[in-house]
Amino acid sequence: MSTFFFSGKNVSSRAQDILSGIVPLLKLICLTVIGLLLAHPKTQLVPRATFRLLSKLVFALFLPCLIFTELGESITLENIVRWWFIPVNVLLSTVIGSFIGYLVVLICRPPPEFTRFTIVMTAFGNTGNLLLAIVSSVCHTKTNPFGPSCNSRGVSYVSFAQWVAVILVYTVVYHMMEPPLEYYEIVEEEGVEIEEVNVSAHDVSRPLLVEAEWPGIEDKETEHCKTPFIARVFNSISSYSQASLPEVDLGGETGGESSSPRSIQCLAEPRVMRRMRVVAEQTPVKHILQPPTIASLLAIVVGSVPQLKKIVFGYDAPLSFITDSLNIMGAAMVPSVMLVLGGMLSEGPKESTLGLRTTIGITVARLLVLPLVGIGIVMSADKLGLLSSADPMLKFVLLLQYSTPSAILLGAIASLRGYAVREASALLFWQHIFALLSLTFYIIIFFKLTVDNVQGMP
C-alpha cells in the first residue's frame, strides 16, 4: 500500500514538473498564434504597417519602460558586484557558440559565402526580448517556483546583460556580417542583380523580420554598409583604402624642403594602424545608445545612488507616480513582442540557398548542443562559488542564455549589410518553430536544476 502511495506521488510530481515547463510556453504560444492569425496574408485583419508600428513602440517605449522600472528598483552597488557573472556568461556563450558554429562549418560544409554567417547564427542567441517573455510567463502565476518577487528579479537579471549583447552586435556581428569579398565581386559584375539588392533594402514589402527588433533600420545605412569594407581595406584593393586614407603632410609649414623621406617614414602613422582606424570609424558604435540601452544605463545610475533611488522608486517616493506610469506601459512589452513575433512567422520561411544540411546543423547546435554546454558551465560556476547569489532565478536566466534561438536582430543586421537576408529569415523561422519543443524540454530540466533550493527564500 505504501509502495503504491509513493509511486503515485512520484508520478504526480513528474506530471507537475512537465506542466510547469509546458504551461509558460503555452501562454506565449497563444499570444504568438494571435499575432499570426491577425497578420496572416489570407486574413489580413491587421496590416503589416501596424505590426511595424507596434515593433517601434516596443523598441522605443515598452521595453525601455520595463527595463528602467524593474532594473532600477533592484540594482544597487552591491548587486552590480554580485551580478558580475551575468555579462561574463553572455561572452562565454558567444565564444563557445562561435566554436560550435565553426564545427558546424566543418561538418556541414555550407556554401563558402555563408561560412561567417553560419558561425554568427550559431553564436549569438536572443538574450533580450524572448528571455524577458519567458521569465514573465514563468512568473505570471502566484504558484511559480521562484518566489513572490520572481518577475522583478528575472527581468533585472536579463536587463543587466543586454548591454553586453548590444555592444557585441554593433561591433563584432556588424563586421562579421559584411558581404564576402569574392561573392561581392561576382554580384558586382552582374548589374541587374546588384540593382535588385539595393531596391529590396528600401522596399515597403520587405519582411517584418528586418524591423522586428530594430525599427527604422533603413535610416541607418551608410556608404559602405553593403560592401566588403574590411576586406578591401586590409587587402589594399579598394580605391577608398588607397585614396581616402590621409597621408601625413609634414611639409605644409616648412615648404616641404626640410622633410626627408626618412623623417616622413618615421613620423607617419603605420599603415596597419591607419586601416584599423578607418575600420573603427566605420563601426556603428553610435547605434549602441538605443532606447533600451539608455534605459539600462539610467536604471543603473539611479539605482546605484541611494538618494536618487529614494526619490524615484518606492511607495512613498515623490516621483512614484512617474515610475507607476512607466510600469503600466512596460507591462505591454511581452504581449506586444509575441504579437510581432507571430506577425513575423506569418510570412513563412523565405527561399534559402544555405542548404538543408547547414540549416539543420545550425538549428541542432543552437537549440540542442549549446544548452547542454551551458548546463555544464553554469552548474560548474555554481559549485566553484562564482555565483555570489544563491537565487535560483539567477541560475535559471544564465541557463536560458544558452537555450534561445538565434537573435532576431541578426536578421536586421543582415538586411543592413545586404548579406544573407533570405537565409537569415528562413533560418530564424525554422529555429523559432523548433524552439517550442527544445525550450519546453530544457525549461523542465532547468527547473529540476534550479528550483530545489527555492523553499525558504524570501
pLDDT band at 190 (very low <50, low <70, confident <90, very high): very low
Whether 187 has a pLDDT exceeding 50, the answer reads no
For residues 116 and 162, the model is more confident at 116
pLDDT value of position 179? 75
User: What's the pTM?
Assistant: 0.81
pLDDT value of position 391? 85
* pLDDT per residue as tens digits for the range 111-133: 988 999 999 999 999 888 899 99
CATH of residue 413: 1.20.1530
Residue 210 forms part of a structural domain: no
pLDDT band at 200 (very low <50, low <70, confident <90, very high): very low
What integer is the mean pLDDT of 216-240?
Answer: 56
Give dist(CA 184, CA 201) in Å, integer. Answer: 16
Residue 268 forms part of a structural domain: no
User: How many domains does the structure of the chain reveal?
Assistant: 1
What integer best gives the mean pLDDT of the chain?
A: 78
pLDDT value of position 270? 61
Give dist(CA 109, CA 105) in Å, integer. Answer: 5
For residues 275 and 158, the model is more confident at 158
Residue 238 forms part of a structural domain: no
pLDDT value of position 34? 92
Instruction: Give 125's strand partners.
Output: 406
pLDDT value of position 95? 95
Whether 373 has a pLDDT exceeding 70, the answer reads yes
Whether 86 has a pLDDT exceeding 80, the answer reads yes
Domain that holds residue 140: 9-181+281-454
CA 131 to chain centroid, in Å, comes to: 10
Would you call 433 helix, strand, or coil by DSSP? helix
Residue 190 forms part of a structural domain: no
pLDDT band at 290 (very low <50, low <70, confident <90, very high): confident
Which of 228-242, 380-394, 403-417 comes out lowest in average pLDDT? 228-242
What integer is the mean pLDDT of 348-376?
Answer: 92
Q: Where are the alpha helices (DSSP H) in 40-82?
A: 48-57, 63-74, 77-82
pLDDT band at 108 (very low <50, low <70, confident <90, very high): very high
Whether 110 has a pLDDT exceeding 80, the answer reads yes
Helix (H) or strand (E) holding 22: helix 2-39
Taking Cα atoms as reference points, which of 413, 411, 399 lies closest to residue 447?
A: 399
The contacts of residue 289 (CB under 8 Å, 6+ apart) are: none
Residue 18 forms part of a structural domain: yes
For residues 248 and 49, the model is more confident at 49
Would you call 456 helix, strand, or coil by DSSP? coil
Whether 257 has a pLDDT exceeding 60, the answer reads no
DSSP 290-332: -HHHHHHHHHHHHHHSHHHHHHHSSTT-TTHHHHHHHHHHHTT
Which of 26-40, 93-107, 237-251, 328-342 comes out lowest in average pLDDT? 237-251
Count of alpha carbons within 13 angstroms of residue 277, beta-carbon side: 9
What integer is the mean pLDDT of 269-289?
Answer: 63
Cβ–Cβ contacts within 10 Å for residue 446, how many? Answer: 25
Share of the chain above pLDDT 70, in %: 71
pLDDT value of position 161? 87
pLDDT value of position 254? 44
